[in-house]
Amino acid sequence: MDPETQPQSDPPIDLGRAAGGTEYSWCRAVPGGTGTTVLSLLLSNPVPFPALQSALHNLHISHPILRSRLTLTPDSRFSFFIPASHDPPQILRSASSSDFHSLLELELNRNPWSDPLDSGPAEGVPVFFPTLYDLPEPGRSVLALRFHTAVCDRSSAVAILMELMGLMGEGGGGSDPEGDKEEPSVLLGIEDLIPKKDTWKPFWVRGKDLVGYSLNGFRTSTLRFEDTGSDRSTEMVRLEMTEEETKRLLDACTARGVKLCGAIAGAALVAARSSKQIEEDRYETYSVVTLIDCRKYLEPVLNEHDVGFYHSAITNTHSIHGGEGLWEVAERCHKAYSNAMSNKKHLTDIGDLNFLMCKAIENPMLTPSSSLRTAVISVFEEPVIYRTSELQQRLGVEDYVGCASVHGVGPSIGMFDTIRDGRLDCACVYPSPLHSRKQIEDLVEHMKRILIEGSHVDEGDSAE
């Protein structure tokens, strides 16, 4: 499945670097099935293959990390080896009778990184694989871009989508990619860019936090597991709202001072508790992971065009007894992660959470039923907001989804939310058959009802 590659001569040392702490944790997670990022586009117009090849070549040049090869030494040290040459990425092309949704799930479960030493420590494995699927209908296709999450977070994927469409609109880029352009620098990992004043934490506080995170992990509840013994894969369902429903939801969030991520997390917790069909007054404690894009907190400040993984996570637990309404739980979710950010835990706790993530990978028995579930749901602090452009229409981009696999270590549901042309569209990924498609479809449909019904409360009314 991997494209053929030519052995590389010794590149300049400054074209590669060792993986940072967060990148290392993703390198540990990806072989088990979590951390394959996929950006998939449904195209209704024929794809000019040379223009696509040229556009991807230009992306390689603009973002050297995308042409890197992940290497692993016998002493388990991961590095990004970046060849000095600008060889274009090989695009795998194949015919397929599958639909857009099925091809997205197929890509989420293709894992060239399942054995990091498979290709030998010297050559390594590419971190980026493009595939073009020709559909049976004339001119229709699916373009799938698959990345190792260590080099491409959600913000990077959105930026790559915008850049790729821009380059395709120009016929691939137009300029000579081997011209006299200065080689872009390879950015450092997130830990090396956090201001020193924001990384310090007393030793005893760090130990206390590690113990606290560990104990919370033991006492938290999960969704019902349906099959804990079979091999797992990642599947996806979508939560979609109309423009009117989305506007009411966002207005309700604004009226209560709650971000959309708080409302989504709140709906998930209410729906998860309801799915258990247990006594009304019995409390269950659930974990929520909120993912924060840290680019604006770094030195130097980065933007979304700085490709890499620059998110951090905040983990909070919430006890739910079954009588709460949406906004009561949503406000608690919002307040918990906001307070953590005020205390800069999105910067100081990166190392702690990476350590615990790796410990869970090494010791699955530390998680309920050895499921590797670390939370009920993960949400992003901010949604992706996008409006269809004339260029997108001209290129024939009918649909697109960006998300990442979660069937190794991770949440029961990972929410990748987009507000597209005013409509909420969430890709909800989950580990199967640990959870069944029907189970997650029912849960997501319940979440949607909770959000819609909660949004109908008049602005002057108190929260439920």
Give me the pLDDT at residue 31, please: 95
- Can you read off the two tokens belonging to residue 53? 């090849």
Spatial distance between the Cα atoms of 354 and 21, rounded to a whole number of angstroms:
7
Give me the pLDDT at residue 208, please: 60
Out of 3.30.300.130, 3.40.50.1580, 3.40.50.2020, 3.30.559.10, the CATH code matching 13-173 is 3.30.559.10
Give me the pLDDT at residue 118, please: 55
CB of 42 within 8 A of CB of 397?
Answer: yes
Give me the pLDDT at residue 214, please: 65
Give me the pLDDT at residue 354, please: 92
Q: What is the pLDDT of residues 261-275, one digit of tens each?
A: 999 999 999 999 999
Q: What is the pLDDT of residues 73-107, one digit of tens each?
A: 777 789 999 887 778 889 999 999 999 999 999 99
Q: If you write DSSP's letter for every residue of 216-228 in order, what string do you get?
A: HHHH---PPPS-S
Among residues 107, 123, 120, which one has the least CA distance to residue 41? Answer: 107
Sequence ranges of the domains in the chain: 13-173, 192-455
Contact partners, residue 167, CB within 8 Å, separation at least 6: 54, 55, 58, 59, 173
Among residues 147, 162, 262, 213, which one has the least CA distance to residue 374? Answer: 213
| CATH-assigned architecture of domain 192-455 | 2-Layer Sandwich (3.30)
Alpha helical stretches, state H, 277-395: 326-342, 345-348, 350-362, 390-395
Contact partners, residue 423, CB within 8 Å, separation at least 6: 240, 241, 242, 243, 246
- Can you read off the two tokens belonging to residue 264? 């989504």
Q: Do domains 13-173 and 192-455 have the same CATH topology?
A: yes
Give me the pLDDT at residue 379, please: 98
Kindly give the parts of the chain with pLDDT less than 70.
1-14, 116-122, 172-183, 201-218, 457-464
Spatial distance between the Cα atoms of 449 and 227, rounded to a whole number of angstroms:
27
Count of H-run helices and E-run strands, the chain:
12, 16
